[in-house]
Amino acid sequence: MELRQLPLLLLLISNIHSGHTEERPKPNVTIKPDHHVFRGDLVTLRCDIYDEGVTSWRYNWYKDGSTSVFSERQEHTFSSVTESDAGKYFCNGTETEGSRRSNISDEVKLTVSVPRAVLSVSPQKWLTEGDPVTLICEVNGSSTGWTFSWFTVTGPGIGNHYELLSDSSRGAGGKYTVSSADLNHSGVYVCRAERDKTAVYSNTQPLWVTGVSPPVSLIISPSRTQHFTSVSLSLSCEDQSNSDGWTVRRYTDSGRLEDCSSLRWGSQTGSTCTIRATVPSDTGVYWCQSESGETYQHVNITVHIGVILESPVHPVTEGDNLTLRCFYPYISPPKLRADFYKDGSLIQSQTTEMIIPTVSKSHEGFYYCKHPETGESPKSWISVRGSHSSGSHSDSQISVLHILSSALAACPYLIVTVVLIYKCCKMRGKTPE
């Protein structure tokens, strides 16, 4: 027997010696709103004693086997519960105008935890314009009574700033759905869960939307999404006028939103960001941002110590070829003969260069390469966008077919009309004056 249970046993023995236990009512203890609550919630313990012969009771509350009474009310309320209030509670009662006592109740356990909001995205965080997406905010271990607000992260650095979405209220139930994503939906999101006096913010969740014809290009040198450590990396935002009104920003895997100029080993000159010596913490999503706040050309860049995959920086156009290579920095030449995988499935083995001719939408997915001795590369998402030329050609074909079908449909009516006019004129010629 545990020592902490000894006071509870002594209290029970005391009750037995003061009379027959079977003649005494046994209290019933309830906890509202629940046995498992969160820090800051309002919690009420209630002790009910039912006995036909007694109309009024004085109540005694005990915690964790102690014989010390901490409350003498039928209902004991914690207006803002804390972790120190967690424990096992029980009660008994004494007749107000008499000497009768109740038995002690069964113990009930109150658990108090810190709420944690978890933000996720479905189906995925990388999207093409027009794709549907849903942000989902949930509180661990609880599903009722919470309302949710939605924010975007706007400020760089450790102390990120949150901006409330203008239509935040439509996601109050925990799901914020966009039926057709556009470039303006790219960003880093946060949700806030509230219930009674409790409010908690979630993790950050990025969402990246790729456009078909962005007004600016993010030029990366070397031109690939995965890079070795301790090398120089250049990122330039170039529009048609080569203007300097663009800033390179990034969102790292550690959840930080940063400008290039704030990086320890980075600097920005005009619209070009240069990282002098890459490190793994440089891994993240990089993009071009205008002076007015628009964001374009989001690229996921990975800095890795070992094997890397060389893949296109930007989405591949349908009908084009896709070329993938595998590199390892500690051999010369660094190109590896490796196995190539898509979404976890082997698609080509023991080759220095994998080429997929005539890419289609079905080739979208996560790619990586693997070598039996040097290891495997990180995964890179390769997206495929539709071809403008094929769409225009298809549209022109549809237009021609539409005209021909319309003309053919009108032919019978034209023939009938001509015949009727001819007959009418002929009858007029035969009519006497």
Residue range(s) in the chain whose domain bears CATH number 2.60.40.10: 3-113, 117-210, 222-289
Q: Options 1.10.3470.10, 2.60.40.10, 3.10.50.30, 3.40.50.1370; which CATH number does 3-113 get?
A: 2.60.40.10
Superfamily of segment(s) 117-210: Immunoglobulins (2.60.40.10)
What does the pLDDT read at residue 142? Answer: 76
How would you classify the pairing of strands 266-269 and 126-128? unpaired
Q: Options 3.50.50.60, 3.20.20.70, 2.30.42.10, 2.60.40.10; which CATH number does 222-289 get?
A: 2.60.40.10
What does the pLDDT read at residue 372? Answer: 94
What does the pLDDT read at residue 426? Answer: 54
What does the pLDDT read at residue 198? Answer: 82
Q: How many residues are there in the chain? A: 433
- Residuewise pLDDT in 10s, the chain (433 residues): 444 444 454 455 455 444 444 478 999 999 999 998 888 889 999 999 998 878 889 999 999 999 999 999 999 999 999 999 999 999 999 998 888 899 999 999 999 998 899 999 999 998 888 899 999 999 987 777 899 999 999 866 545 689 999 999 999 999 999 999 988 899 999 999 998 778 899 999 999 988 767 788 999 999 999 999 999 999 999 887 656 689 999 998 888 888 887 777 788 888 999 999 999 999 999 999 988 888 888 999 999 999 999 999 988 999 999 999 999 999 999 999 999 999 999 999 999 999 999 999 999 999 999 999 999 999 999 988 877 544 434 333 433 334 434 444 444 444 544 445 555 445 545 444 3
Whole-prediction pTM value? 0.68
What does the pLDDT read at residue 243? Answer: 65
Angle at 247 between CA 257 and CA 225, to 5 degrees: 70
Backbone angles phi, psi at 298, to 5 degrees: -80, 125
Angle at 353 between CA 352 and CA 355, to 5 degrees: 155
Query: How many other CB atoms are found less than 10 A from the CB of residue 246?
Result: 25
Q: Tell me the two tokens of residue 262.
A: 């704030």
